Chain A
Amino acid sequence: MKILIADDNHTDRLILSKVLENLNHEVVQAKDGSEAIEQFKRHAPALVLLDVLMPSYDGYEVAEIIKTDSSRAWFPIIFLTSLTEASDLAKCISAGGDDFVSKPINKIIIKAKLDAFERIINLYDTVAEQRERIQFHHEHLVQEQEAAKRIFNNIAHRGCLASDNINYHLSPMSIFNGDLMLAAELPMGGMRLFLADFTGHGLPAAIGAIPASEIFYGMTTKGFAIPDMMTEMNKRLYNVLPRGIFCCVIVIDIDSIDESLTIWNAGAPDSFLVDQKSGEVTTIPSSHLPLGIQSPEKFKVTCQSFEFTKQHKIIAVTDGIIEAEDSTGNMFGEQKMVDCIQANVTSDDICGALLAEVNLFCGKTDQSDDLSLLEVGFPSVGSNDILQASKGEIIESGTSDSELSLKLRGKSLGNFDPIPLFMQTILSCNELTPHRARIFTVLSELYNNALDHGVLGLDSSMKNSNEGFTNYYTQRIQGLNDLDVGFVKVSVDHHPTASGGRLIFNIVDSGKGFDVQKILKEGIKDYSGRGLPLLLKLCDSVDYFDQGARVKAVYNWDHNDIPE
């Protein structure tokens, strides 16, 4: 160690230096107080031996001055004193000294004290070094989190969460609580909402958000149904997430044409379907294990469907709200949540009411950082912005002159959704991008009519009542499960024309057909009559053949006529 000896007595300094040098220490000497301060600044010794009585500044004063030098790491001061009065010795410590040794110097005692202090100095150095390292890592972590947050926000952007029909609460750092909330418009109108809660906190919880969002946006735009999207998401998360991390999700499709809601709750708290007119609150509990647990072979998605109109709202939450604690550790719980929803059934902002209630419950302990709340009403007309037409030169690209046909039989009808395949193929003709929503609507209406009413023989008038609505979807799922004969053949023919193109849809099914004229007369409301009025509005012609078992629809498009 480098040691400063301050003593006005030459012989004392001589002896002490010699003792210390014999112990392999480096010695700096000072013959009075002011020299001691000067030498201390110049040499930054690890330890200081101070005589009490010295000219200029005495030992006490020197101790006080050098101890206040904040630029220095901790160092011990040992007073050298021939004073024996208890009060004099106590003053050594109160002046900032750490110990004292009496004169004349005993080399054994000096050695013991130096050894002891060397250990303490090492300890302080270690602590300081570790603190520096911790601080470095902490700053690094904060920087990384900020960067990660920006990356996550780019990838897991919130989509159309800002729409008028949505109220939500989500902390800016929610991604590090493992919460993810996404919304996207469905190609055929309406919206898909997604609320996920990955187990754990921090980066491990956030990591799954990337594949989940990519799949969400990618597959939603291409028109994949919830079961297909969730199967894909589970497959990816199952492969990607470490053991012990999984993902509770609620995924909701609101079909604004059909005025229906399809929901799948896997491991999340109950969702609530609120009828603002009747005041009825329907609980939608989890019906599946969270994502990332089941192997793709065992994974199966069965959604629930409900009527959903302008008088309905759907509320989804993560467990943060249920587990919110007051100052004594009591949890907010499910009952309080249900009560609050019921008390605010007609409110425009049930989400806000819930949040206020939780904050009131928690008192000073604000836990809104951990809460994710989503409240969705019926999408207002026109909120479904159609993609901007690509500007520039008219180039006939991709599949502008093509025909694609596919025949699905038996079990494949229940297992495979051909719409995304057709959409992807049709839309590789870039000029059709602005027509995406219309084409999707036409194709899915035609296909679903063929499958539901043709092959499965379901009666669309069932959907006129609330109860029938649920029945309809139950029967549909049952029917698809039991299906082993029957077929639907879809073919799409795309021809270029002078100023655009013509899409000809031909759909044939194995069903027994129907009375076309009767349906056309009755089918006034959107949700019955097989959506025929809508099809007629979108297409240039819709014609039925073979008693309704074959339908041909023609959709003309024009470069100069971009749909709104």
Chain B
Amino acid sequence: MNNGLDHELLSELVEIMGEDMQLLINSYLDDTKEKLVTMNQLQVSAQQDDIYRLAHSLKGSSRNVGVVDFANYCEEIEKLAREGQLTELLFDLSKFDSLFEKASSQLSQLYL
């Protein structure tokens, strides 16, 4: 049932947003894609603070729309970056992409 999404939260969102649910999902997907592009350009060694902020932001918006697995990974990165302990090895960009891809196709299927 999980699929990396919080379905309970999503159904509540449908209730809140009504017709605007589509707008919300589109906005989330566009926003996240854009942020992942930025994320790919950041240097682990020099820009841990920027990574922390971006991961924090991604985590927040993802949680809001019930994208749980992706949000959890964002949180891991956020914590490491905040404490300055993020390394090239731990910063797995492909994991971001795959988790997002998975959630993205699910959301598109459900709400778009």
- Chain A residues packing against B (C-beta within 8 Å): 8-12, 14-15, 18-19, 22, 53, 82, 103-105, 107
Contact = CB atoms under 8 A, between A and B. Distances in A.
Nearest to A51: B60
B43 interface: no
Contact of A15 (B17, B31, B56, B57): B17
B28 A11 contact: yes
A12 B16 contact: no
Nearest to B67: A11
A394 to B, nearest CB: 103
A8 B57 contact: yes
Given A14-B27, A53-B53, A104-B9, A9 B16 contact: no
Nearest to A16: B64
B53 A15 contact: no
B87 interface: no
B24 interface: yes
Nearest to A81: B60
Contacts of B56: 53, 82
B108 to A, nearest CB: 15
A213 to B, nearest CB: 76
A8 to B, nearest CB: 7
Given A9-B64, A15-B16, 6 more contacts: A14-B17, A14-B27, A18-B16, A53-B57, A103-B60, A103-B63
Q: Name the residue in A10, A11, A15, A103 with the highest tally of chain B Cβ atoms < 10 Å from its Cβ.
A: A11
A82 B56 CA distance: 8
Contacts of A12: 60-61, 64
A105 B64 contact: yes
B60 A9 contact: yes
B11 to A, nearest CB: 13
A11 B16 contact: no
Given A9-B31, A10-B31, A18-B16, A104 B57 contact: no
B17 A18 contact: yes
A82 B63 contact: yes
11 contacts: A10-B31, A10-B61, A11-B28, A11-B64, A14-B20, A22-B16, A53-B53, A53-B56, A103-B60, A103-B63, A107-B12
Interface string B10-28: 0011001100100110011
Nearest to B27: A10
Main secondary structure of the interface of B (DSSP, over half): helix
A18 B24 CA distance: 10
Contacts of B60: 9, 12, 82, 103-104
A530 B80 CA distance: 119
Interface of B: 9, 12-13, 16-17, 20, 23-24, 27-28, 31, 53, 56-57, 59-61, 63-65
B27 A18 contact: no
Contacts, number: 53
Contact of A11 (B9, B12, B31, B53): B31
A523 B13 CA distance: 119
A82 B61 CA distance: 10
B24 A11 contact: yes
Instruction: State the 4 A-B residue pairs at the shortest beta-carbon distance, nearest first.
Output: A104-B63, A11-B28, A11-B61, A9-B61
Contacts of A103: 60, 63-64
A19 B12 CA distance: 11
A103 B61 CA distance: 9
B4 to A, nearest CB: 16
Contacts of A8: 57
A53 B59 CA distance: 12
Contacts of B23: 14
B22 to A, nearest CB: 11
A9 B27 CA distance: 10
A258 to B, nearest CB: 101
A12 B20 CA distance: 13
A533 B73 CA distance: 125
Output the residue of B28, B57, B65 with the most chain A CB within 10 A: B57
B63 A14 contact: no
A180 B23 CA distance: 81
A423 to B, nearest CB: 96
B65 to A, nearest CB: 6
Nearest to B59: A82
B16 A107 contact: yes
Contacts of A22: 16
Query: Residue among B13, B16, B17, B31 with the most chain A CB within 10 A?
Result: B16
Nearest to A19: B16
Nearest to B75: A82
A104 B12 CA distance: 12
Nearest to B31: A10
Contacts of A14: 17, 20, 23-24, 27
A53 B53 CA distance: 7
Contacts of A18: 16-17, 20
Contacts of B20: 14, 18
A11 B65 contact: yes
B63 A15 contact: no
Contacts of B61: 9-12
Contacts of B17: 14-15, 18
A11 B27 contact: yes
A198 to B, nearest CB: 70
Given A9-B57, A11-B28, A82-B59, A104 B64 contact: yes
A12 B57 CA distance: 10
Contacts of A82: 56, 59-60, 63
B61 to A, nearest CB: 4
A104 B65 CA distance: 8
A209 B27 CA distance: 80
B88 to A, nearest CB: 24
Nearest to B63: A104
Contacts of A19: 16
Contacts of A10: 27-28, 31, 61
A333 B36 CA distance: 89
